[in-house]
Amino acid sequence: MKLAVVGAGAWGTAISISLATRHEVTLWARDRAAADAMRASRVNARYLPDFPIPAKVEITAQFADAVAGCDLLLVATTTAGLRTALRQIAASGSRAPVIWLCKGFESDSAQLPHEIAAAELPKTTLRGALSGPSFAQEVARGLPTALTLASRDGDFAARTARDLHAQALRIYSSDDLPGVEVAGAAKNIMAIASGISDGLGLGANARAALVTRGLAEMTRLGLKFGGRMETFMGLTGVGDLILTCTGDLSRNRRVGLKLAHGLALDAVLKELGHVAEGVYTAREVARIASKLSIEMPITRAVCSVLDQTLSAREAVQELLRRDPKAEF
């Protein structure tokens, strides 16, 4: 297949490296100087400096050239950049199916990626999301990874999953697009909470409790959006949740760790140097939960720390003071 990856951050670069073992791949970078530098050095010095980009991966800043004649477009921007990327695709006249790799709710609109796509892409464009437990560095290294490709068109999801499937990159299919997207967005909030817990030295018991009760919050939210319970027990739910709440490569967990150590959010994000989707998603999800009367106490606690209305330790104490209740 001829593929274009739209967005040359860490994840876009990693998926390009991985897919180039079996497909013809073009990586599009928004910044011309960055594209020129990557093409010359065959490395993404800013986002993925330790992983050579194969010579067979074309790198360009020309959008029309990147998408021309492609069989599939993979959009590897942040959620904030998704709408602009989809508008570029629509304007290009490409008829190729579109898969997005971002996880989150759009700020202000509170829309999921598939809702953004519905507004920006032609109705006839096949589309879906690729999600699951995946650190970019491990994908680039060729370590085994399992993901889920979700689309409301189950046949398209199954067919495309088969096309992208490889020995070290196992792709499963799903037709629960809203469930997969909500799970991928909400788990980032729980990763911040897990980082706060670890940063405060609260121990493995506390982390296990946070992950479990976080999964309950994610599921309650997902069901309100029409997602299915089993999705949250799969790769894009509990799988991604475990990875991002425990892995040292998790950007959202690192945000929580640094907040627990007393750093201000602006300083944390500046030091991180990458987008941590959970920071923006937490506020959107808190607003949605309030509007839909969904109980999400961990999400509210994370927001209180992000907004500096409570310290990390005070937020934990507020959670612990909640009245006992039935688990299910």
Tell me the catalytic residues.
Answer: 187
Decide: 164 and 276 in contact? Cβ < 8 Å. Answer: no
CA-CA distance, 44 to 319, in Å (whole number)?
42
Residues contacting 218, CB < 8 A, separation 6+: 182, 183, 186, 187, 190, 232, 237, 241
Say if residue 276's pLDDT is above 90. no
DSSP conformational letter for 235: I
DSSP conformational letter for 213: H
Q: What is the pLDDT of residue 272?
A: 86
CA-CA distance, 100 to 97, in Å (whole number)?
10
CA-CA distance, 124 to 101, in Å (whole number)?
20
Across residues 45-57, what is the average pLDDT?
Answer: 96
Q: Which fold has domain 2-175?
A: Rossmann fold (3.40.50)
Which residues in the chain are classed under CATH 3.40.50.720? 2-175
Say if residue 275's pLDDT is above 80. no
Decide: 95 and 106 in contact? Cβ < 8 Å. Answer: no
Give percent of the chain with pLDDT exceeding 90. 96
Which residues in the chain are classed under CATH 1.10.1040.10? 186-320
Decide: 298 and 214 in contact? Cβ < 8 Å. Answer: yes
Which segments of the chain does DSSP mark as H helices, in order? Answer: 10-19, 32-41, 63-67, 79-92, 113-120, 136-141, 154-164, 177-199, 203-224, 240-246, 251-260, 265-272, 277-292, 297-306, 312-320
Q: What is the pLDDT of residue 36?
A: 98
Q: What is the pLDDT of residue 77?
A: 97
Q: What is the pLDDT of residue 70?
A: 98
Across residues 197-201, what is the average pLDDT?
Answer: 98
SS3 95: coil
What is the rounded average pLDDT for all residues in the chain?
96
Q: Which residues of 254-265 are buried (b: 16+ CB within 10 A; e: fewer)?
A: bbbbbbbeebeb
Q: Which fold has domain 186-320?
A: N-(1-d-carboxylethyl)-l-norvaline Dehydrogenase; domain 2 (1.10.1040)
Per-residue CA distances from 140 to 9, 18, 285 (Å): 12, 6, 31
Q: What is the pLDDT of residue 328?
A: 87
